[in-house]
Amino acid sequence: MARGPRALLLALWALAALARPSSGSGEAGGGGWYAFVKPVILQGLTDNSRFRALCSRERLLTSFGDNIVRLSTANTYSYRKVDLPFQEYVEQLLHPQDPASLGNDTLYFFGDNNFTEWASLFRHYSPPPFRLLGTTPAYSFGIAGAGSGVPFHWHGPGFSEVIYGRKRWFLYPPEKTPEFHPNKTTLAWLQDTYPALAPLERPLECTIRAGEVLYFPDRWWHATLNLDTSVFISTFLG
């Protein structure tokens, strides 16, 4: 992104951080809609080429293969946790999603990172240069197979960057609860529910590619689908 547009985007974001809409208004003055009620795709703001090189399969296995990682189930509530060596996850569980599998039977590496053990990697990551007033950033790092993802859920605002692969997003505003089963995968929802949705009932959609970042506002419903084996990192603003 050229310097001029980048400076303009930074200025808009600064306005957004100061211009939170009043309760129930649905609109914000001074550009605040981006920070609080609209997702945004960001491109060309940071150079994470070094971080990307360190996230290759070979380098990750060399550096962290013996580390114990905590996996979560790929369903909405994700109560079940499983600990196993990172190398075992990569070699035995990192495969394309079985369309017949339920999300609560699918193990997924995202979040629950040991920041001390992974510090040598995370220190090379440059997050988007934006903040919301009164929040603190926290990283969640993930690796997942093609066809995997997390069904609809919501939480606080943040950024999600794809390092390798592609991630498809489906988003609804907080006031519009999507139709979904919390234990079915996003892939099953896309095959079974999505085709029957009327045009006005369909979500906002986008595909985030390597080097791109999606900003998602507070409490927006979203489901994700990894189109390839993907490496990704989120910066949650809590």
- pLDDT-based confidence at residue 19 (cuts at 50, 70, 90): very low
Whether residues 115 and 223 fall in one domain: yes
Residue 79 has pLDDT above 80, yes or no: no
Whether residues 193 and 226 fall in one domain: yes
CB neighbours of 96 closer than 8 A, spacing ≥ 6? 145, 146, 147, 148
Whether residues 69 and 27 fall in one domain: no
pLDDT value of position 1: 39
- pLDDT-based confidence at residue 177 (cuts at 50, 70, 90): very high
Average model confidence (pLDDT) for the chain?
84
DSSP state of 90: I
Whether residues 133 and 15 fall in one domain: no
pLDDT value of position 6: 46
Of 157, 117, 173, 176, nearest to 141 by C-alpha is 117
Residue 58 has pLDDT above 50, yes or no: yes
pLDDT value of position 81: 84
Whether residues 10 and 121 fall in one domain: no
Contact yes or no for 152/76 (Cβ under 8 A): yes
Whether residues 129 and 226 fall in one domain: yes
Q: In this predicted model, what pLDDT tens digit does every residue of 32-51 receive, in sequence order?
A: 456 777 899 999 989 999 99
pLDDT value of position 26: 34
Domain CATH code at residue 102: 2.60.120.650
pLDDT value of position 49: 96
Whether residues 33 and 44 fall in one domain: no
Domains of the chain: total: 2
Whether residues 32 and 44 fall in one domain: no
Threshold 0.85, pTM exceeds: no
Q: In this predicted model, what pLDDT tens digit does every residue of 193-234 receive, in sequence order?
A: 999 999 999 999 999 999 999 999 999 999 999 999 999 999
Whether residues 17 and 92 fall in one domain: no
Highest mean pLDDT out of 18-22, 24-28, 69-73, 117-121: 117-121
d(CA 14, CA 140): 24
Q: Domain residues for 18?
A: 1-38
Of 140, 130, 217, 127, nearest to 171 by C-alpha is 217
pLDDT value of position 213: 95
Whether residues 120 and 154 fall in one domain: yes
Whether residues 13 and 89 fall in one domain: no
Query: Contacts for 179-182 with beta carbons within 8 Å, 24 or more apart?
Result: 180/76, 180/151, 180/152, 180/223, 181/151, 182/75, 182/76, 182/77, 182/103, 182/151, 182/152
- pLDDT-based confidence at residue 101 (cuts at 50, 70, 90): confident
Whether residues 61 and 162 fall in one domain: yes
pLDDT value of position 34: 63
SS3 19: coil
d(CA 32, CA 11): 11
- Intra-chain end-to-end CA distance of the chain, in Å: 28
More confident residue, 30 or 73: 73
